[in-house]
Amino acid sequence: MTIKRILSGIRPTGDIHLGNYLGAIYNWVEMQHQSQQNLFCIVDLHALTTLQQTENLALNTRTVAAAYIAAGIDPKKSAIFAQSHVPNHSELGWILGCFTPLGWLNRMTQFKDKAGKHKELAHLGLYAYPVLMAADILLYKASHVPVGEDQKQHLELARDLAAAVNHRFNTDIFPMPEPIIQGAGMRVMSLRDGTSKMSKSDISDYSRINMMDTQDMIEQKIRKAKTDMEPIPETVAALAGRPEAQNLINIFAAMSKQNPQEICSVFAGNNFSEFKKKLTDCLINTIVPIGNNMRELMKEETELDKILSNGAIIANDLAEKHMYEIRSAIGLLKK
Ligand code: ADP
Ligand code: TRP
C-alpha cells in the first residue's frame, strides 16, 4: 500500500500508556515507511480542553515527543511537532466551526462522557474539540489517519465537514481522510474494569500500564489485574461476557503479534496465573526498553526541542501553502 500523507496526534495530558501505544503509535511506526509523508503532532491545544490536565504542559509535550521517538518514529522520516507551533490549526478550526451545525456536535459521545452531568458548566473548547481535530487533519490534506477506535466518530465528523465545505464552495479542496483503525490493540481496556477504556484520566494508576513503568510496576499491575474464576476457554467466542479476560488476551495477542484465537488455543483450560506470567514477560520485553529510551531522550532537552522545531518548520510550510488555497477557495481577501 502506498500512502500519500499520514497525520495523527496524542494529547500531552499525562502519562502515556499502553492504550496509546497499541491503539496509535504502534501502527504509526509500521506505517511510516509505506507513506510519502508523515506528520505526528502533539496536540497541546487539545490538552487545554480538559483543564485539570494542563499542568506541566511543556514537560508533557516533550514526554510525548520522546515516546514517539523511543517507540520507533524516525524524525528523519516523520515530522514530529507541537500543534501550537503551527497557528493555522486554530485559524482553520475557526473557519470549519462556521460550517459545523450544532446538531453534529451534540451527537459526539466523547463530549457527553467528558462534560458529565453539568453540561452548562462545560467549556466551549471541549464542545468544539472535534472541529479543531478536523482542522488538524484537513489543514494538511491528510489521506490517512491512524487512531484508536474511540476516535472513529471524530473522524466521521472530519469527513462530513470536508464534504460540506467542498460542496458549499463547489471545490475539491479537502480530500476525504481515511481512518485507519486496526489491530487487536485498537481498544485497550482498563486493567481494573474491562468495560472502560484504559485512559490517562483514570484516577487509579493500576488501571493502566504506562510507557515509563519499571519492570516491578508492570509485574505488580498484571498480577493485580482483574480476571474471573473461569479458566481460559478454547475459543475467542467463549470470552463473550468476560471483559477482563478478553482484554488481557487481546493485549497479549497484540503484543506478541498473534491473533486472540491463537492465544486461547495455547492457554485453553489453564487458569490465569501462568498466562499472566507470560503476558508480563512480553510486556516487559517491549515496554521497559521504550521507557528507558524515553528517559534518555528526556535528558537531552535541547535535542528534543530541535526535533520539534524542525518538525514545525515542515508542518508550517505545508500548512501555510494549504491555508492560502483554503482562504482563496472560500473567498477571503488575499493578504
Ligand atoms: P487518552 O484517551 O488516554 O487521554 P488520547 O486521547 O490523547 O489519550 O489518545 C491518543 C491516541 O491514543 C488516539 O489515537 C486514541 O484513539 C488512542 N487511545 C487512547 N486510549 C486508547 C485505548 N485505551 N485503546 C486504544 N487506543 C487508545
Ligand atoms: N482526539 C484525539 C484523541 O483524543 C487526539 C487528536 C487530536 C487527533 N487531533 C487529532 C488524532 C488529529 C488524530 C488526528 O485521541
Residue-wise pLDDT tens digits, 230-258: 999 999 999 999 999 999 999 999 999 89
How many Cβ atoms sit within 10 Å of the Cβ of residue 137? 27
- Centroid of ligand 1 to alpha carbon of 14 (angstroms): 12
Residue 15's pLDDT band (cuts 50, 70, 90): confident
How far from 153 is each of 13, 33, 112, 130, 228, CA to CA, in Å?
21, 27, 13, 9, 32
Give the atom of ligand 1 at the shortest distance from the alpha carbon of 43. 7
pLDDT mean over 198-211: 93
- Pocket of ligand 1 from Cβ distances under 6 Å: 10-11, 13, 19-20, 23-24, 147-148, 150-151, 186-188, 197-201
How far apart, in whole angstroms, are the C-alpha atoms of residue 267 and residue 258? 13
- Strands of the sheet containing 78-82, edge to edge, are 78-82, 35-42, 3-10, 144-146, 178-180
Q: Is the pTM of this model over 0.85?
A: yes
- Pocket of ligand 2 from Cβ distances under 6 Å: 7-9, 11, 43, 46, 133, 136-137, 145, 147, 151, 154
86: helix, coil or strand? Answer: coil
For residue 308, which amino acid is it?
L
Copy the grid coordinates of residue 209.
500500564
Residue 127's pLDDT band (cuts 50, 70, 90): very high
Residue with the smallest CA separation from ligand 1 atom 16 is: 148
Q: Which pLDDT does position 58 carry in this prediction?
A: 93
Which CB contacts under 8 angstroms, 24+ apart, belong to 188-193? 188/18, 188/19, 188/22, 188/23, 188/148, 188/247, 188/250, 188/251, 188/254, 189/243, 189/244, 189/247, 190/247, 191/221, 191/222, 191/224, 191/225, 191/226, 191/247, 192/225, 192/226, 193/226, 193/243, 193/244
Does residue 98 contact residue 135 with C-beta atoms inside 8 Å? no
Give the atom of ligand 1 at the shortest distance from the alpha carbon of 190. 23
Give the atom of ligand 2 at the shortest distance from the alpha carbon of 142. 14
Residues near 211 by beta carbon (within 8 Å), at least 6 away in sequence: 15, 16, 17, 18, 20, 21, 67, 70, 71, 287, 290, 291, 294
3-187+301-330: CATH homologous superfamily?
HUPs (3.40.50.620)
How far apart, in whole angstroms, are the C-alpha atoms of residue 189 and residue 166? 37
- Centroid of ligand 1 to alpha carbon of 200 (angstroms): 8
How far apart, in whole angstroms, are the C-alpha atoms of residue 326 and residue 330? 6
Instruction: Indicate whether 201 pLDDT > 90.
Output: no
How far apart, in whole angstroms, are the C-alpha atoms of residue 148 and residue 218? 22
Instruction: Give the rounded percent of residues in the chain with a pLDDT score beyond 70.
Output: 97
Q: Identify which ligand lies nearest to the alpha carbon of 64.
A: 1
pLDDT mean over 176-196: 87
Lowest mean pLDDT across 8-17, 79-88, 207-216? 8-17
Instruction: Indicate whether 184 pLDDT > 60.
Output: no
How many Cβ atoms sit within 10 Å of the Cβ of residue 265? 14
pLDDT mean over 251-280: 94
How far apart, in whole angstroms, are the C-alpha atoms of residue 94 and residue 57? 23
For residue 246, which amino acid is it?
Q
Chain segment 57-93, per-residue pLDDT in tens: 999 999 999 999 999 999 999 999 999 999 999 999 9
Give the atom of ligand 1 at the shortest distance from the alpha carbon of 199. 3
Annotate 29-45 with b (16+ C-beta within 10 A) or e (fewer): bebbeebebbbbbbbbb
Residue with the smallest CA separation from ligand 1 atom 12 is: 20
Q: Which pLDDT does position 116 carry in this prediction?
A: 85
Q: Which pLDDT does position 123 carry in this prediction?
A: 92
* Residue showing cell 464552495: 169
Instruction: Indicate whether 203 pLDDT > 60.
Output: yes
Q: Which pLDDT does position 218 carry in this prediction?
A: 98
The mean predicted confidence, pLDDT, of the chain is 94
Q: Which pLDDT does position 53 carry in this prediction?
A: 61
Instruction: Indicate whether 9 pLDDT > 80.
Output: yes
- Centroid of ligand 2 to alpha carbon of 9 (angstroms): 5
Q: Which pLDDT does position 16 carry in this prediction?
A: 93
What is the DSSP secondary structure assignment for residue 17, as one 8-state letter? B
Instruction: Indicate whether 185 pLDDT > 60.
Output: no
What is the DSSP secondary structure assignment for residue 309, as one 8-state letter? H
Q: Hey, which of 53, 150, 154, 248 would you mutate to test ligand 1's pocket, going by the most ligand atoms within 8 Å of its Cβ?
A: 150
- Centroid of ligand 2 to alpha carbon of 45 (angstroms): 11
Question: Domain segments of the chain: what residues?
Answer: 3-187+301-330, 212-296
How far apart, in whole angstroms, are the C-alpha atoms of residue 66 and residue 59? 11
Q: Which pLDDT does position 1 carry in this prediction?
A: 67
Instruction: Indicate whether 160 pLDDT > 90.
Output: yes
- Centroid of ligand 2 to alpha carbon of 110 (angstroms): 12
pLDDT mean over 133-160: 96
Q: If residue 291 lies in a helix (H) or strand (E), which one and from where to where?
A: helix 272-299
Q: Which pLDDT does position 119 carry in this prediction?
A: 86
pLDDT greater at residue 181 or residue 52: 181
Q: Identify which ligand lies nearest to the alpha carbon of 130.
A: 2
Domain made up of 212-296: CATH architecture:
Orthogonal Bundle (1.10)
Residue 4's pLDDT band (cuts 50, 70, 90): very high
Q: Hey, which of 13, 20, 126 would you mutate to test ligand 1's pocket, going by the most ligand atoms within 8 Å of its Cβ?
A: 20
10: helix, coil or strand? Answer: strand
Q: Which pLDDT does position 149 carry in this prediction?
A: 86
Lowest mean pLDDT across 208-212, 257-261, 327-331? 257-261
- Centroid of ligand 2 to alpha carbon of 265 (angstroms): 36
Give the atom of ligand 2 at the shortest distance from the alpha carbon of 146. 13
Q: Which residues are catalytic?
A: 114, 197, 200
Residue 285's pLDDT band (cuts 50, 70, 90): very high
Instruction: Give the rounded percent of residues in the chain with a pLDDT score beyond 90.
Output: 86
